[in-house]
Amino acid sequence: MMVMENLRMAIASLKANKSRALLTMLGIIIGIAAVIAIMTVGNSVTNTVSSSMQSMGVNNINVMIQSRKNEPEERESGIVFGAVEHSKEMTERDYLTDEMIAGLLEEFSDEIEAISASEAVGSCEVKNGSASANVTVTGVSQGYFAANEKTMLAGRLLSAEEATGARNAAVVSSEFVDDLLEVSYEEAVGRSFSCRLGEQQVQYTIVGVYEQVDSATAMMMGLVGTECYIPLTTAQQFNHTENYQNLAVVGKVGVDADALARKIETYLDGHYRSNRYFEVSAFSMSAMVTAMADMMDTIVTAISVIAGIALLVGGIGVMNIMLVSVTERTREIGTRKALGATNESIRMQFIVEAMIMCLLGGIIGVILGVAGGILASNLMGAAAAPSVGSIVISLLFSLAIGVFFGYYPANKAAKMNPIDALRYE
């Protein structure tokens, strides 16, 4: 019964000073909202990314050429952040070759299912009436779509004949059709579009449309969404190359993709030992999922620390206002004591008031945080996943802040001498 009365008194007291209470709660609101929002976004993105990466095949290994890091003699003047990279352009002789692929297939025949290659051609602006989009053009070998588990929605894959003949055939993403053509996927097949790559104007004919993975993952992987894939040979001809910048290795079922990636890297390192500027890097999809989760964890931790500081400041604000309130209500405290209130009941009254203020701030913070988190998740194209656990913990935590920062002012009120309190002017 005393609990109910304390709650009633606390609410009445907060109501009497609405704007002051709200301003005091601001620190708590911001802190809790930040925690909940980042948790929601983090949850959503991690879930979405890892599930779609999983669906893209955790057995896949990406092999690529990258600049060697930390070559001191190549260090450019000026300020350098993190790893040092040189500005040397990749040339034909730095690329992966057919011999290397053959070598890999022979060396790891028990573990590798298939190897597909891709060749970046470039990106261009494609216009269709008022619609326009930036399209990236990539040449891919025939196994590419199977290796990346892309689903066809209409038309067909690039044919062997188109591959050998280096034709200008293209498989485009569903988003390409949605953004540029505004026709059904079936109708899109057979249409052609032109695009300017470097000095050349090229005309491509759409032979198939595949389903675009959701945008959050695409964004994380550096895809623009409007992708266009052409035969590898067409791309190689365009680039005047016979070698590859990129390989996708599909591991056999049951093979440890991480271990295989390391073995492939070690194997190819042999070929690149004499290359001063470039090296080979191989990583599995599962390693990428882990890296993504780690990155998300780091962001969550960083923002949580900031939110923690906001909560601390908020708590101090609550303590400050409670001290003001106790001083303002000195006569009331004296009166209550004259009427028989014990020190404990006075202390409880003010602690409950601080707790309610913090809890209210916490609730508002949770609402704002969930709303913000859902909004941000949707903008990133991830399915929103507010974490019930973090909501409960946040609310309990805000109550704890109330107790912690409310105790000192409440104790000050409790220990007042009744007659001094009554005489207070």
Applying CB under 8 A, which part among 151-159, 177-185, 301-309, 417-425 lies near another protein? 417-425
418 binds another protein (CB under 8 A): yes
Residue 244's DSSP bridge partners are 96
Nearest-angstrom CA–CA distance, 107 and 123: 36
Cβ nearer to another protein, comparing 1 with 79? 1
| Contacts with another protein, 9-48, as mask; x by CB under 8 A | ---xx--x--------------------------------
Q: How many residues in the chain?
A: 425
What φ, ψ does residue 66 adopt, rounded to 5°?
A: -140, 160
Q: Which of 275, 335, 387, 411 binds another protein (CB under 8 A)?
A: 335
Q: Which of 215, 345, 387, 411 binds another protein (CB under 8 A)?
A: 345
Tokens of 205: 């004919």
State the DSSP code for 96.
Answer: B
Stretch 166-185 residues interacting with another protein (CB under 8 A)? none
- In sequence order, which residues have a C-beta less than 8 Å from that of residue 108 and are 6 or more positions away? 260, 263, 264, 267
Q: Which of 66, 91, 194, 342 binds another protein (CB under 8 A)?
A: 342
82 binds another protein (CB under 8 A): no
- In sequence order, which residues have a C-beta less than 8 Å from that of residue 114 and are 6 or more positions away? 143, 146, 147, 249, 250
- Minimum gap (Å) between residue 323 Cβ and another protein: 19
Q: Which of 26, 313, 399, 422 binds another protein (CB under 8 A)?
A: 422
- Minimum gap (Å) between residue 333 Cβ and another protein: 10
Gyration radius of the chain over CA positions? 32
- In sequence order, which residues have a C-beta less than 8 Å from that of residue 172 and are 6 or more positions away? 135, 188, 206, 208, 209, 210, 226, 227, 228, 229
Pairing, β 131-140 against β 112-128:
antiparallel
Q: Which of 63, 195, 232, 341 binds another protein (CB under 8 A)?
A: 341
DSSP per-residue string spanning 244-273: BSEEEEEEPTT--HHHHHHHHHHHHHHHHT
388 binds another protein (CB under 8 A): no
Cβ nearer to another protein, comparing 237 with 345? 345
Cβ nearer to another protein, comparing 16 with 160? 16
Residues that bind another protein (CB under 8 A): 1-2, 4-5, 12-13, 16, 331-332, 334-343, 345, 417-419, 422
